[in-house]
Amino acid sequence: MLSRRTLPLNALKAFEAAGRHLHMGRAAEELGVTHGAISHQVRALEQQLDVSLFDRTGKTLSLTTSGRKLLRAVTEALDVMIAGAENLEPDTDVAPLLVGCTPALAANWLSRAIGDFCKDFPELTVHFRPLAPGVLRLPTDIDVALCYGKPTSGFHHCDQLVEDHFFPVAHPSLVHGAGPLRNPNDLQQFRPLHDDSGSWDTWNRKYGTKNAVKALHFFDSSHALQAARAGLGVALASAIEVAHDLRNGSLVRLLKDQVTAPQAYYLAEVQAPAPGNRVAEFRQWISSVLSRETA
């Protein structure tokens, strides 16, 4: 019986080359050895396996049924080993960081902010995984999760990062030449851009307002904010998600009034920090950045 200790790797390489070329001489040339060495390795392999791998009765070399079966297996195994070796990255002791977050947070804020983290850890590969807002049980195929709402299971450690707020934003062109903006009732001159968070309902209940213009409804906040950037109306935006827009002027805040988001943001460590996975460094970085963004 074969084992890792007794597996004849050199003989299998010789057999694979000979079986692929169906010619001992060409196999020897490819592997940089003599014709006799290839023949010897193949004979030894046949003896060890107690089976004939080549039919040598004719003038040309051909594989037996066992030979064809073994050639497929050896070829696949060699291809897998070569692909694995070629796909290695520098500093392979540093595992990729797998980050789960809501699509809206990734689109509106994290995809820009993560650049600073990557500058500090250039050897690190970061993979993003989508998480639904309010997800309760975290998947096991991530290292760390940025959650909107506290999960209940599937994590090693979980801390609240920041309490978020919503306030009205729009493209500067929308409010240029519009009526005065002194209180929430003045927003009724604009089209509201809704998303699935229900933030406009919370806003209207708090300030006793209603939407006088027909709304546009989107299925998440990233699309509502894209519409706001295009000047289509007013969105109620998360302070975190529009921090970059407010700095570069693509959106402006219309009022100081705001509503508290129904959920806070949490950072959950799905996997315990370990050498090479950078979970602790990511936690420290994200906490610092969000504190600055929401100050």
Contact residues for 228 (Cβ-Cβ < 8 A; gap 6+) = 169, 170, 171, 193, 234, 235, 237, 251
Predicted confidence (pLDDT) at residue 240 exceeds the cutoff of 90: no
pLDDT band at 185 (very low <50, low <70, confident <90, very high): very high
Whole-number pLDDT of residue 235:
95
Quote the CA–CA distance of 135 and 160 in Å, as a whole number.
Answer: 15
Question: What is the β-pairing status of strands 97-101 and 62-63?
Answer: unpaired
Quote the CA–CA distance of 184 and 138 in Å, as a whole number.
Answer: 38
Quote the CA–CA distance of 90 and 63 in Å, as a whole number.
Answer: 41
- Burial group, residue 102, by CB count within 10 angstroms (0-12, 13-18, 19+): buried
pLDDT band at 272 (very low <50, low <70, confident <90, very high): confident
Closest by Cα among 204, 247, 27 to 10: 27
**Which SS3 state, helix, strand or coil, does residue 267 take?**
strand
Is residue 202 within 8 Å of 173, Cβ to Cβ? no
Whole-number pLDDT of residue 167:
96
Q: Residue 293 corresponds to which tokens in the numbers above?
A: 């963004």
Quote the CA–CA distance of 271 and 277 in Å, as a whole number.
Answer: 9
Closest by Cα among 6, 20, 30 to 53: 20
Whole-number pLDDT of residue 275:
63
pLDDT digits (tens, 9 = 90+) for 66-91: 999 999 999 999 988 887 776 665 54
Whole-number pLDDT of residue 116:
84
- pTM for this one? 0.61
pLDDT band at 113 (very low <50, low <70, confident <90, very high): confident
Cβ neighbours around 250 below 10 Å, total: 15
The percent of residues in the chain predicted with pLDDT above 90, rounded, is 48
Quote the CA–CA distance of 33 and 14 in Å, as a whole number.
Answer: 10
**Phi, psi angles (nearest 5°) of residue 253:** -80, 130
Quote the CA–CA distance of 215 and 189 in Å, as a whole number.
Answer: 12
Whole-number pLDDT of residue 277:
63
Where exactly are the structural domains of the chain?
Answer: 9-86, 93-295
User: What class does CATH assign to 9-86?
Assistant: mainly alpha
Eight-state DSSP code of residue 153: B
Closest by Cα among 160, 192, 170 to 287: 160
Whole-number pLDDT of residue 276:
60
Of residues 144 and 58, which shows the higher confidence score?
144
Whether domain 93-295 has CATH 3.40.190.290: yes
- The position carrying tokens 């969000």 is 290
The percent of residues in the chain predicted with pLDDT above 70, rounded, is 94
Predicted confidence (pLDDT) at residue 205 exceeds the cutoff of 90: yes
Please state the rounded mean pLDDT for residues 166-185. 93
